[in-house]
């Protein structure tokens, strides 16, 4: 240990308490994921036109968020981790949107 | 380093904390607290996973683009995949994620026997997933639906002769089903490779867990492997609807 300590590292509330989820919490998450898997499979057999991909991807996104928040503990992590995860997905969305806008503006009428 | 301040009281606390940490050999001296060390490990793991998001994201973008260009070919080719097998594998993978999460819990509450058990169940479910995947790949091989010189478009040009109710595709569009199958094999193959690597790491972690390494307060390796395993689950949560579900029409 050096003489100079960064006091903020010891007392900073950024370093959140370690939160332990119980098996019951995980079971509820597991049940939720199973139910939505059933819904997405069922919805695939119904012809809803343009809504089919929207529903399928909406359910997949919901399931992913549930996994990230609870199985991956992001809900109980420090703001540093939350910002890191959020920034990653945001950057990915920016890349998709910018590339897609380029493709779409090159091929009018084909989308 | 102007953010570093000297604070006698805090220093006392830190020295006391250091004595406390002597009982926990995993605590490295360059971290102020064990909590900070643990957060640094999570932070690093998440940065790695973000590179993985970009990597898989490139393939998802290719899928998005080609699906719009060769929509009819994607519909016909997608309907060749088995929803029951895909749904079964989704449940298996969610189950393995559930047991991995329980494994992290077992490490946190220092239950060695349960940790080993949950890691073994996670491994078995991962292996079942790969087995089903291998069966699906084998079916594609038999039907000549693997892109390349032996690719057979006859099922797409003349589906009624094969008992399918699909709309027949023109020969040039039928050739584009290869693009779908190429993406199918690239995406599920890369996903399966991640699972094979994950199962390899699981063997190693189970071995170390057997000797009580992660049930003495040192849970970071289990926790961070859990992040990896859940990430691989999430990739499948998107692959399943995109490849198996969204082009399904009641025919």
Give the per-residue pLDDT at B94: 97
Report the pLDDT averaged over residues B30-55.
90
Q: Do B46 and A30 touch (CB under 8 A)?
A: no
- Which of B18, B36, B237 faces A1 most closely, judged by CB atoms? B18
Put simply, whether B15 touches A (Cβ < 8 Å) is: yes
Q: Is B110 left (phi over 0), alpha (psi -120 to 50) or beta?
A: left
Give the per-residue pLDDT at B144: 94
Least confident of A56-60, A74-78, B128-132: A74-78
**CB < 8 Å from A in window 19-38 of B:** 29, 32-33, 35-36, 38
Q: Positive or negative, the Cα torsion across B156, B157, B160, B165?
A: positive
Whether B91 and A37 have beta carbons less than 8 Å apart is answered as yes
Give the per-residue pLDDT at B213: 92
Report the pLDDT averaged over residues A23-51.
93
Report the pLDDT averaged over residues A70-83.
92
Task: Sort out which chain B residues have CB atoms less than 8 A from A31's CB and list them.
Answer: none
User: Does the pLDDT at position B30 exceed 60?
Assistant: yes
| CA dist., res. B13 & res. A108, Å (int) | 66
Task: Sort out which chain B residues have CB atoms less than 8 A from A59's CB and list them.
Answer: 241
Name the residue of chain A whose CA is nearest to B1's CA. Answer: A6
Whether A72 and A20 have beta carbons less than 8 Å apart is answered as no
Query: Among A11, A16, A60, A102, which would you mutate to test the B interface (most chain B Cβ atoms within 10 Å of its Cβ)?
Result: A60
Give the per-residue pLDDT at B33: 81
User: Does the pLDDT at position B43 exceed 70?
Assistant: yes
CA distance A5 to chain B (A): 6
| Half-sphere exposure at residue B182, Cβ-oriented, CA atoms within 13 angstroms | 15
Put simply, whether B5 touches A (Cβ < 8 Å) is: yes
CA distance B157 to chain A (A): 23
Least confident of B6-10, B56-60, B120-124, B176-180: B6-10
Convert B190-229 to b/e letters by CB count within 10 Å (16 or more is b). Answer: ebbebbeebbeebeebbeebeeebbbeebbbbbbbbbbbb
**Mean pLDDT of all residues in chain A?**
84
- Which of B61, B68, B87 faces A111 most closely, judged by CB atoms? B68
Q: Do A1 and B61 touch (CB under 8 A)?
A: no
Q: Do A88 and B53 touch (CB under 8 A)?
A: yes
The tens digit of pLDDT for each residue in A79-108 reads 999 999 999 999 999 999 999 888 888 866
Q: Do A80 and B39 touch (CB under 8 A)?
A: yes
Give the per-residue pLDDT at A109: 64
Q: Do A47 and B49 touch (CB under 8 A)?
A: no
User: Does the pLDDT at position B19 exceed 60?
Assistant: no
Q: Do A72 and B227 touch (CB under 8 A)?
A: yes
**Mean pLDDT of all residues in chain B?**
89
Give the per-residue pLDDT at A29: 96
CA distance A94 to chain B (A): 11
The pTM of this model reads 0.86
User: Does the pLDDT at position B2 exceed 60?
Assistant: no
pLDDT band at A12 (very low <50, low <70, confident <90, very high): very low
Task: Sort out which chain B residues have CB atoms less than 8 A from A13's CB and list them.
Answer: none
Put simply, whether B154 touches A (Cβ < 8 Å) is: no
Query: Among B98, B102, B247, which would you mutate to test the A interface (most chain A Cβ atoms within 10 Å of its Cβ)?
Result: B98
pLDDT band at A7 (very low <50, low <70, confident <90, very high): very low
The tens digit of pLDDT for each residue in B169-228 reads 999 999 999 999 999 999 999 999 999 999 999 999 999 999 999 998 889 999 999 999
């Amino acid at each position: 240990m050096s003489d100079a300590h960064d006091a903020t590292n010891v007392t900073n509330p950024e370093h959140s308490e370690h939160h332990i989820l119980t098996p019951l919490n995980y079971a509820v998450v597991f049940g939720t994921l199973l139910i939505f898997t059933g819904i997405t499979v069922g919805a695939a057999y119904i012809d809803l036109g343009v809504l089919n991909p929207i529903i399928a991807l909406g359910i997949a996104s919901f399931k992913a968020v549930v996994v990230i928040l609870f199985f991956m503990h992001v809900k109980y992590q420090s703001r540093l981790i939350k910002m890191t995860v959020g920034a990653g997905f945001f950057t990915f969305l920016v890349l998709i949107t910018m590339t897609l806008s380029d493709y779409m503006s090159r091929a009018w009428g084909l989308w | 380093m102007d953010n570093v301040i000297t604070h006698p009281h805090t220093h006392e606390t830190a020295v006391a904390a250091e004595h406390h940490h002597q009982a926990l050999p995993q605590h490295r001296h360059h971290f102020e607290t064990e909590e900070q060390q643990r957060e640094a490990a999570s932070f690093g793991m998440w940065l790695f996973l973000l590179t993985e998001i970009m990597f898989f994201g490139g393939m998802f973008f290719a899928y998005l683009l080609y699906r719009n260009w060769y929509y009819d070919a994607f519909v016909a080719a997608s309907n060749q995949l088995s929803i029951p097998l895909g749904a079964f594998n989704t449940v298996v993978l969610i189950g393995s994620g559930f047991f991995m999460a329980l494994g992290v819990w077992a490490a946190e509450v220092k239950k060695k026997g349960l940790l080993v058990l949950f890691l073994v169940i996670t491994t078995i479910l991962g292996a079942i997933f790969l087995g089903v995947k291998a069966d699906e790949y084998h079916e594609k091989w038999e039907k000549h639906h693997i892109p390349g010189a032996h690719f057979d478009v006859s099922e797409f040009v003349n589906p009624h002769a094969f008992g399918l109710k699909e709309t027949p595709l023109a020969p040039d569009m039928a050739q584009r089903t290869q693009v779908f199958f190429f993406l199918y094999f690239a995406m599920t193959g890369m996903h399966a490779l991640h699972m094979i690597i994950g199962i390899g790491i699981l063997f190693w972690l189970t071995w170390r867990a057997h000797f009580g390494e992660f049930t003495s307060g040192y849970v970071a390796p289990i926790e961070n492997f859990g992040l990896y395993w859940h990430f691989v689950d999430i990739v499948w949560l998107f692959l399943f609807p995109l490849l198996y579900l969204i082009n399904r029409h009641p025919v």
